[in-house]
Structure 1
Amino acid sequence: MAAVATPGHVYPMLGIARYLIAQGHRVRVMTGALFRERAEAVGAQFVPFDAQVDFDYRYLERHFPERAALPPGNAQMALALKDFFAAPIPLLDRQLRAAIAAEATDLLIVENCFYGVLPLLQATDRLPVIGIGVTPLSYSSRDAIFYGPRIPPALLPLELPREQLVDEATRVLIDEVQQSFNAAMVQSGGGPLQQPFTDALIGGCDRFLQLATTALEYPREDLPAGVRFIGPLRGAVAARQGGCEWDEADPRPLVIVTQGTLANVDLRQLIVPTLKALAGLPVRVLATTGGRSVDGVPAQLPDNARVRQFISFEHWLPQAALLITNGGYGSINYALDHGVPLIVAGTGEDKLEAASRVVAAGCGINLHTSEPDEAQLRQAVQQILSQPVYRQRAALVQADYARHDALAAIAEEVAALTG
C-alpha cells in the first residue's frame, strides 16, 4: 500500500490495512516516516519514503515557502500539484518498484493522490493495482471537469463546451500542472500522459474504489468500467477520546467544528470565529484542532465551548446537530454517515470540490471562503438548525451509505485480483 504522507490520505489506508491483515493478508505500507508508529500498530510492515521527498505536512511552508504567499484556491493548489505531487514521481517510482521487487508482492493498493504510481501504470507487465478514492472523485468526464466551475453535472447544458466552463487563468494553471506531470513521467523513463493526470490514475488502476456513493458524488455517464462506489470507511483508525464535555442531559444542540489536519496552521480562520459567533447562541460547541496546539485559541473560552486537540468522531457525531468543517472529504463523509448536516468553509486543496458536492446533495451550506466572519457563521448555523430540510437531506445520504460496506467491498476486490 502507498499513500501521500498526510493524515487524510494515510489514515483511511491504515484502516484498510488493519482489516486486510485481520483477513490473513500480509501488508506493507509505504508513506512518510511520521506514520511509522501508526502503521506498525495496525500490524503492517513499514516502508518509509526516501528522505528527499518525505515532507512533514505540518510544516509545508518550510519545504515550499512560496505556498504561504498564495491564498487558498486554484493557484495554491496548482503549486502543490507541481511541487508536492508531480516533482517526487521519479524518486517514488524507483522506490515503489524496489519495494515490490524486494518481496513477492501480489497486489498494490494506492490512494488517489499517490501519483508515484503513474509510471508503473504505464507498464504492460505490472502487478494488479487498486486505487482508493479518499478525495472527491476527480475524473474529468464529459459532464464534470476537475478544477472546473464546480457546477453539478445535472445543471450543465450538454452543448456547453469546456472552453466556456473554465476561465483562461484556470486553463493556464491546468496546462502548467499537466506539463509538470508529463516532465516527471519522462524523467521516470516513461512517456507523457495521454490524459489529465487525475484521469490517468483513476482509469489506469484495475479497480478504482471511491469512498462514497452517488448520494454525495455526482453520477457520471462515462466513468471507466473499473470505478466502483463503495461507501465510506467506518472506524478506520481509532481516535483518541476525551472526557465527558457536558452533562448528558444538556438539551442544547451540539455543533462540532474542525479545520482538519492540514489546513489548521491558523486556527483564526475557522475555529476562533466560530467560537465567537456561537458564544451567544443556545448551542454547545466542540472544536478540534486536529492535533495542532490549542495555543492559537483564546485562553478565555465562551461558556458553551470546549476545544480539544483530538476528539472521537465516532463518539460525538451521533450526538451532533451540525458539523462545521473546512471541507475535508473524510470529515464530510463521517458527518453524512451519521446523518449530520454541514457548513463548509474552505477553498484550499480539494475543498471547493467537496463543498460543491455537499450543496448539490442538499445537506449543507458552502460559505465560499476559508476565512468566514462571525456574522456568516452565525447566520448559517441558525439557518441549518431552523430548517429541517438539511437534516432530512443528510439522512438520505446516510441511508444510502448504510447500504454499503466499504471494507467488505475492498476485500472482495482484493480476492478477485489475487485469486
Structure 2
Amino acid sequence: MSRIIVAATPVSGHHAPLLQIARHLHGLGHEVVFLGGSRFAAQVEAAGPAFRALPAEADYDDRDLSARFPGRDEIPAGPGQVMWDVMHVFGDPIPAQLRALKEVLAGFPATVVLHDNLFLGGVALALGEEPGRRPAVLSVGISPLGVDSRDTAPHLLGLLPPTDDEQRARYAEMAAQMAERSKPLAAHLRGCFTAAGAVIKEGSLGWLRIQAADAFLQLTVAGFEYPRSDQPANIRFVGAIPIEPGAAQEPPAWWPELRRAREEGRRIVVVTQGTLANTTLNRLVVPTLRALADREDVFVVAATGRPDAAELIAGELPAVPANARVAGFVPFAELLPLTDLLVTNGGYGGTQAALAHGVPLVVGGDTEDKPEVAARVEWSGTGLNLRTGDPSVEALREAVDTVLSTPGYRERAAELAKEYAAHDALATIDGLVRETDPR
C-alpha cells in the first residue's frame, strides 16, 4: 500500500470531495495524511486518515470569508471577484501551503500528493522538482475546466462554445481583452509561486495549473465538458464522487410526507444555494418557494445548508408554503433518487450529483464559477440556464414548468446518468495511486 498526502483548500466545496477520496483510500489500506482547514479536523479524524492543519497563513473559515479577506465583499460578483479570489483566497497561501506539504513529507515520505485544483501549493510542489525527485502529484478538478481554448469562449463569462468563424473571432477579441485586464492577477500569482520557490514558465497560468500535475482528474464526464482539440493529454474525466449514504444527518421528521407525495404522483422539486453562497436565501430559495407556492402537483424541499434555515426563511416569508419543507441539511444520497428537478445556483459538486442521478436542473447563479456550470447545463441539454443569480418569481415559475413538462430535459439527464454510471471515480483514483507506487 502507498503513503498518500491529500491536501484540500479549506472551503467546503473543495474539502468535501477530497475527504471522500481520503476516506476511500484509507479504507483500502493506504496510509493517508489529510492536510486541510482546522475547522474540519474532527471530520477528517472520524473518517480515518491522520489530520494535519494548514498553517495560519493558509487556514481560514469559508463561512465568513469577508472576516479573513477584507474588501472582498466590495467587489461585484462575476469575473472581477473570481480574479480577486484567485489572487488572495487561493494565491496568497501558496508559500504556506508548500511549506506545510514539505513539513508533512519530512516525517511522512509519501509517494503521492493528491490535491484539489485550487490548492496551488500542490502546483508549486509539482513545479519545484522533476517528477523522479518528488512524489507523484495528482490534481483533482472540483470546478469546471478553467482554461483558454480555441474551441471555447473565454472562461468565467458563462458563454457557450463558438459555432462559426465570426463567433470565434469575437471570442478571440474578448479573450485578448480579458488577458489584458488580468495582467495584475498573472503578476500576483507569479509572485506567489516565486515566493514559494517555484519556477513559472511564460504562458497561460490556467493551462500551467493543469499541466503541472502528473495527472489531472476532472470530476465529471466528457458529456458535461466542452470538447477541446487542444486539451492536454494528462486530463482524465473520472466521473463524479458518489454521495455516501448516511454521510449527512438522519432524514428530517417530514420525510414520510416527501415519500407520500412521491407515491401520490406529485413532482419533487429541490432548491438549494449550496454551502458557500447561501448567506442570503432570498436570491434563489425564497423566490422558488414563492414561485411554486400555489402548485398542488409539486412538493418542494428547500435544502439551505444552514442550521438557522427556518429563522432566515421566516424573515422573508410570512409562512412556509403548505407544499414546501425547509431544512438545513438533508441526506442527498436519499433525496436525489426521489427528485424530479433541482433548482440550484450552480455548485459544481451538487450539479454533478444531480446529473449522476438523472435529475434535470434549473440554474441561477452568478458567483464564483457558477455561470460556467449553468452554461454547461444549457449546452448539455440537461436543464435551463436562467443567466442570473437573482431570478424573478415569474422566471422561476416558467422555468420549472418548462423543465417538468418537457421530456427532453429528463431524457438528456438520464443519458448523462448512464455516462456517470460507467465511471468509478474512487476506483480510478486508487488505480492511479497504485500505478505510481506499485508496491
Q: Which amino acid aligns with 1:119?
A: A
> Judging changes above 3 Å, is the alpha-carbon distance between structure 1 residues 107 and 370 closer, same or farther for their aligned structure 2 residues?
same
> Judging changes above 3 Å, is the alpha-carbon distance between structure 1 residues 44 and 156 closer, same or farther for their aligned structure 2 residues?
farther
* Alignment partner of 1:175 is 2:190: no
Decide which moves more: 155-164 or 257-266: 155-164
Question: Residue 140 of structure 1: CA displacement?
Answer: 2.3
2:198 corresponds, among 190, 199, 211, to: 190
* Alignment partner of 1:199 is 2:213: no
Deviations 1:46-86 (A, max 9, x none): 11111222111000111223221222111111111111011
Q: Which amino acid aligns with 2:227?
A: P
Residue aligning to 2:145 = 137
Residue aligning to 2:3 = none
1:217 corresponds, among 221, 225, 240, to: 225
- Write the distance in 2 (CA, Å) between the matches of 1:399 and 1:257: 24
Match runs of 1:128-167 below 5 Å: 128-144=136-152, 147=155, 149-153=157-161, 155=163, 157=165, 160=169, 163-166=172-175
Q: Could you tell me whether the CA contact under 8 Å between 1:148 and 1:166 is conserved in 2?
A: no
Aligned identity (percent) is: 37
Residue aligning to 1:241 = 250
DSSP-derived class of the 1:372 partner: coil
Moved over 6 A (4+): none
Residue aligning to 1:357 = 376
Decide which moves more: 33-42 or 150-159: 150-159
* Alignment partner of 1:331 is 2:375: no
> Judging changes above 3 Å, is the alpha-carbon distance between structure 1 residues 276 and 37 closer, same or farther for their aligned structure 2 residues?
same
Residue aligning to 2:308 = 293
- Write the distance in 1 (CA, Å) between the matches of 2:324 and 2:58: 39
Q: Could you tell me whether the CA contact under 8 Å between 1:111 and 1:134 is conserved in 2?
A: yes
1:64 corresponds, among 49, 65, 69, to: 69
> Judging changes above 3 Å, is the alpha-carbon distance between structure 1 residues 353 and 378 closer, same or farther for their aligned structure 2 residues?
same
- Write the distance in 2 (CA, Å) between the matches of 1:319 and 1:115: 38
Deviations 1:349-407 (A, max 9, x none): 11011111111000111111111111111110011111111111111111111111111
> Judging changes above 3 Å, is the alpha-carbon distance between structure 1 residues 156 and 149 closer, same or farther for their aligned structure 2 residues?
farther
- Write the distance in 2 (CA, Å) between the matches of 1:28 and 1:194: 33
- Residues matched between the structures, number: 418
Question: Residue 306 of structure 1: CA displacement?
Answer: 0.5
List alignment gaps of at least 5 residues for structure 1: none
- Write the distance in 2 (CA, Å) between the matches of 1:360 and 1:62: 37
2:270 corresponds, among 256, 260, 283, to: 256
- Write the distance in 2 (CA, Å) between the matches of 1:61 and 1:173: 24
Q: Which amino acid aligns with 2:398?
A: Q
Residue aligning to 1:272 = 286
Decide which moves more: 198-207 or 305-314: 198-207
Q: Which amino acid aligns with 1:62?
A: A
> Judging changes above 3 Å, is the alpha-carbon distance between structure 1 residues 165 and 173 closer, same or farther for their aligned structure 2 residues?
closer
Deviations 1:275-303 (A, max 9, x none): 11110123111011113521211262000
Q: Could you tell me whether the CA contact under 8 Å between 1:148 and 1:165 is conserved in 2?
A: no
When normalised by structure 2's length, the TM-score is 0.91
- Write the distance in 1 (CA, Å) between the matches of 2:70 and 2:283: 20
Residue aligning to 1:398 = 417
CA RMSD of aligned residues (A): 1.8
Question: Residue 97 of structure 1: CA displacement?
Answer: 1.4
1:16 corresponds, among 18, 21, 26, to: 21
Q: Could you tell me whether the CA contact under 8 Å between 2:153 and 2:161 is conserved in 1?
A: no
* Alignment partner of 1:83 is 2:99: no
DSSP-derived class of the 1:65 partner: coil
Question: Residue 43 of structure 1: CA displacement?
Answer: 0.4
* Alignment partner of 1:412 is 2:431: yes
- Write the distance in 2 (CA, Å) between the matches of 1:291 and 1:196: 38
Q: Could you tell me whether the CA contact under 8 Å between 1:285 and 1:304 is conserved in 2?
A: yes
Decide which moves more: 63-72 or 88-97: 63-72
Q: Which amino acid aligns with 1:285?
A: V
- Write the distance in 2 (CA, Å) between the matches of 1:140 and 1:37: 39
- Write the distance in 2 (CA, Å) between the matches of 1:69 and 1:132: 30
Question: Residue 91 of structure 1: CA displacement?
Answer: 1.4
When normalised by structure 1's length, the TM-score is 0.95
Match runs of 1:18-33 below 5 Å: 18-33=23-38
- Write the distance in 2 (CA, Å) between the matches of 1:239 and 1:152: 35
Residue aligning to 1:386 = 405
Deviations 1:26-59 (A, max 9, x none): 1111110111111111101111111222111000
Decide which moves more: 145-154 or 348-357: 145-154
Q: Which amino acid aligns with 2:362?
A: I
Decide which moves more: 225-234 or 146-155: 146-155
DSSP-derived class of the 1:324 partner: strand
